[in-house]
Structure 1
Amino acid sequence: MSSSFSGATLVVGLGGVTNGGKTTMCKALEDLFSSNKYHLRVKSLHMDDYFHPTDDPRHIHLEEFNHHDWDCLEALDTDRFIADVQSFRSQCDLLLVEGFLIFNVSSPKHSKLFDLGYYFDLPYEECRRRRSSRNYDPPDPEGYFEGHVWQAYVNAKTDALEQNKHLGLELIDTTKESFDQVQAKIVSDIERSLKHG
């Protein structure tokens, strides 16, 4: 594979719904493409590493939940996120970027952040079930998912699909396809893109 690699860094975005499998997929792809089979320099970048500290004044506070809105761009240091995506490009062959709002961040002028994009999606009930089994810091208050998180996701999905028409985001629902099927599809796309540059 490495002998036919074009030389330009490929940036793959894994975005979408909370608890949709993005981080798990990112780790699997990183392990595979950094293995002896490919000999690629692979880096991954996780949007969850860019949340502002809890006491940051830029947070939007939701009075009805007495809780910050952790499901909007204002909760994140998007400037540092974009800077790191651009910086990491020069340090690897394949850059994997995952996070719930990666496709909602405005790209810098005259540039694109991603070469391939996959938007993870889930039905409401499955998303709620997975979210309730996870521990968050700070923890979700009672009714936060039903009263805020889901609608925030629906809005973000609409915006992401509109904002990334040029990328042709591929919708992925892991309740309809197995993880292995989804992974095989993404691997095939990455291999083809690396080969043709």
Structure 2
Amino acid sequence: MKTIIVGVGGVTNGGKSTLSQFLHQKIHNSCIIAQDTYFKDDFVVPVDSNGFKQYDTLDALHMEEMMKEVCSWKKDPHEFLRRRGLIAKDSSTDDELYVLIVEGFLIFNHRPLNEMFDMRYFLEIPYDVCKMRRSMRVYAPPDPPNYFDGYVWPMYLQNREEMERITSEIVFLDGLKPKDEVLAAVYEDIHKEIARLQVLSFTT
């Protein structure tokens, strides 16, 4: 049994979920663990000096729980998928290859998680496009006035700088390119790695 863990990070509204869902639909024996599902309750997220909720920090996330899920998959991906109804109960594990897609805005900033990735992708878009896309999204709770300029974008720059100190093995993707072009390029990249591992399994 062979495994690949793919990290899909990036700026808010950069296309992380779209890319992750596309890969999941195209890749056999794959699943997604999304960082956004591990946010702590709103009332425990601290407020900064400007009155902005500090969502864009690792402290706002249940990273221990997320790591448990990733480790559970890594220990037995076949059983992980079976429990979630993503594969048949009687399916074989012989010579199978499994792919985990981990998606989130701070996945490369958490060192224990970052060290588990075999492949890393980061979607980036410029400030003006990001601000426009963010303004069109509906959040719960909604963004307060000046939240993007006063908190979200400055924290993105800070978190990105920290991320680049932690690892240099990241493929940066231009989120302004045609969506189909970006999706196809990443899929081809991962497909080549899958093929390489499958060849290895036959020769060892």
**What range describes the TM-score normalised by the shorter chain of this pair?**
0.7 to 0.9
Asked whether 1:82 is paired with 2:67, we answer: yes
Spell out, residue by residue over 1:76-120, the C-alpha distance to the aligned partner (whole angstroms, 9 max, x if none).
011111121121222150101101111111216xx9221100011
**Displacement, 1:188?**
1.2
**Displacement, 1:169?**
0.2
Spell out, residue by residue over 1:15-41, the C-alpha distance to the aligned partner (whole angstroms, 9 max, x if none).
0100000001111111111xxxxxx21
Asked whether 1:106 is paired with 2:100, we answer: no
Q: Which runs of 5+ in 1 are unaligned?
A: 1-6, 34-39
**Displacement, 1:55?**
2.1
**Aligned CA-pair RMSD:** 1.5
Spell out, residue by residue over 1:111-160, the C-alpha distance to the aligned partner (whole angstroms, 9 max, x if none).
92211000111100000000000011111100010011101001111111
Q: Residue 131 of structure 2 aligns with which residue?
A: 128
Q: Which runs of 5+ in 2 are unaligned?
A: 79-97, 198-204
Letter in 2 for 1:91: P
**Identity within the alignment, %:** 33
Asked whether 1:48 is paired with 2:4, we answer: no
Q: Residue 172 of structure 2 aligns with which residue?
A: 171
**Displacement, 1:189?**
1.3
Distance 2:182 2:116 in 1: 22
Q: Residue 116 of structure 1 aligns with which residue?
A: 119
Larger Rg computed on CA atoms: 2
Letter in 1 for 2:146: G
Structure with a larger share of its residues in helix: 2
Distance 1:113 1:179 in 2: 27
Distance 2:180 2:156 in 1: 25
Q: Residue 3 of structure 1 aligns with which residue?
A: none
Distance 2:163 2:58 in 1: 12
Letter in 1 for 2:25: D
Check conservation: 1:43, 1:88, Cα contact below 8 A. Answer: no
Check conservation: 1:172, 1:182, Cα contact below 8 A. Answer: yes
> How many residues are aligned here?
177
